[in-house]
Amino acid sequence: MIQPGDHKSYMQLALDQAKKSPPKPTNYRVGAVLVDLASNTVLATGYTLELEGNTHAEQCCFMKICEQNGGIPEEKLKEVLPPAVALYTTVEPCSKRLSGNLPCVERVVRLAGCIKTVYVGVMEPDKFVANNTGKKQLQDAGIEVVHVEGFEKEILEVATAGHEKK
């Protein structure tokens, strides 16, 4: 049981999720955890490519909660989420997707009001997405972005497993 406010333990849980993602040369392995702040309950976990399609970690969390609520569309997720939720993600939510899927930052912004804080292990490196605007978009929507320090080296090693080393 993780104690309320133990951001390092929640980030470690997100990192443990990222390690479940298959290493591929074209993907970054990311993990995410969605937490109800009032009850300190993990609502969902996710990792890159966990669910069918080219799914990202945050997207998998949201898809699981939709499924738990009768398969509601993701656009209605705000109706079933608790009023105070935190998202822990190993890498800052993406602001751009080449696959044509909705960027994760837009998915999170849709949930502004429910998601109060996004805790990130590393900010989006420029080599992943140059000039990522995710943090600003989240903050503009009233969502606090907090960097949980101390995981950067391991998160980047996990994220890039399967990539060709230069």
Task: Find out whether 14 and 25 touch, Cβ atoms under 8 Å.
Answer: no
Active site residues per annotation: 58
Residue 1 lies in a domain: no
* Predicted TM-score (pTM) of this structure: 0.94
Residue 165 lies in a domain: no
Q: Into how many domains does the chain fold?
A: 1
Residue 48 lies in a domain: yes
Range of the domain at 69: 7-159
CATH code of the domain covering residue 25: 3.40.140.10
The model's pLDDT over 1-10, given as tens digits with 9 standing for 90+, comes to 899 999 999 9
Conformation bin of residue 49: beta by default, left when phi > 0, alpha when psi is -120 to 50: left
Amino acid at 139: Q
Confidence category of residue 132, pLDDT binned at 50, 70, 90:
low
The model's pLDDT over 101-111, given as tens digits with 9 standing for 90+, comes to 899 999 999 99
Which residues have CB under 8 Å from 28's CB, separation 6+?
A: 48, 91, 128, 159, 160
Amino acid at 146: V
Tokens of 69: 């609520």
Beta bridge partners of 119: 88, 146
